[in-house]
A = this chain, B = another copy of it.
Amino acid sequence: MGTTQLESVQEPKYWHLKTVLSEALDSDFAVGEILPNERDLAARFGVARATLRQALEQLELEGRLQRRRGVGTTVAPPRVGVAVSTSQHEWAGGVAGEAWQPVDCVSEAAPSAVAAVLGTGTEPVHVVRRIRDTHGQAVAAELLYVPASSVPDLSAIDAPSGTVRARAVLRELHRLGVEGQDRSVELGSARADDAKELDRLPGAPVLVVTTRYFASGGTAAVSVATYRADTCRLTFGDSGALEISHDEQQQRQAS
């Protein structure tokens, strides 16, 4: 049963420790500062390392801490609000100031769940890969699936793959115009290729935004975008400027 200082608390130990750690982050650490190693922290708070690790994982989920390759665990800056609305998530890549940078385009069959929505079966579609940068940091990696029928005037003269091809597909898609969109958001883990683009380890928690674009009465394209869950807060809506972060709320409620 032990006699640690946290024994009387009804909540799990790691949960209480998380609250205590959260307050310590506010008072004793600056954004970007590297935390002491797990052994030292466990000793400082009088807990087992397993308990400490659980509490650190909680704080990482809440965006308070970041685990960075080759650096260690640091105090995270507040999450960045990233607008996921019609205008910000336009598929057109040619617009000045557009946040999405096309990096590649290949022609291959879409995954079957996507192919079922597009009605393309095993027929190859254009798969445009884009990266979204915000404040100089890659916040999302996207695969945009475009059936050949959505870009009928795509010229064979354009490069068969790569960035030039990606721009050509987006340019043609732009001519189609968007009539409507459906979108879903769910928790996922970063695939190895996305993780690399986002400077995360494979399996890091991500927010997966799947968008179905409608045009000419059908589904014109499907986008699967993977956002860093540690640094991003996805914003939707009328003004696009929601200035309350969950992080802040938790901090205030804890204090």
What is the interface of chain A, defined by CB distance below 8 A to chain B? 11-12, 14-15, 18, 54, 57-58, 61-63, 79, 81, 111-114, 116-117, 180-189, 191-192, 201-203, 205, 207-208, 210, 212, 214, 222, 224, 229-230, 232-250, 252-253
Q: For the complex, what is the distance from the CA of A236 to the CA of B84, rounded to whole Å? A: 11
Whether the Cβ atoms of B249 and A224 lie closer than 8 Å is: yes
Q: Which B-chain residue is minimally distant from A55 (CB atoms)?
A: B203
The residue that A244 contacts in the complex, of B14, B54, B212, B236, with Cβ under 8 A, is: B212
Whether the Cβ atoms of B235 and A182 lie closer than 8 Å is: yes
- Prevailing SS type, chain A contact patch: mixed
Report if A203-B111 is in contact (Cβ < 8 Å); known contacts: A236-B184, A236-B185, A246-B224.
Answer: no
Contacts of A57 in B (CB 8 A): 203
Whether the Cβ atoms of A189 and B61 lie closer than 8 Å is: yes
The residue that A248 contacts in the complex, of B113, B187, B245, with Cβ under 8 A, is: B113
Q: Which B-chain residue is minimally distant from A61 (CB atoms)?
A: B189
Q: Which 6 A-B pairs have the closest CB atoms?
A: A180-B238, A182-B237, A113-B248, A187-B229, A186-B233, A182-B242
Contacts of A201 in B (CB 8 A): 12
Q: For the complex, what is the distance from the CA of A186 to the CA of B84, rounded to whole Å? A: 12
Q: For the complex, what is the distance from the CA of A229 to the CA of B189, rounded to whole Å? A: 12
Contacts of A111 in B (CB 8 A): 249, 252-253
Whether the Cβ atoms of A113 and B249 lie closer than 8 Å is: yes
Q: For the complex, what is the distance from the CA of A184 to the CA of B233, rounded to whole Å? A: 6
Contacts of A62 in B (CB 8 A): 187-189
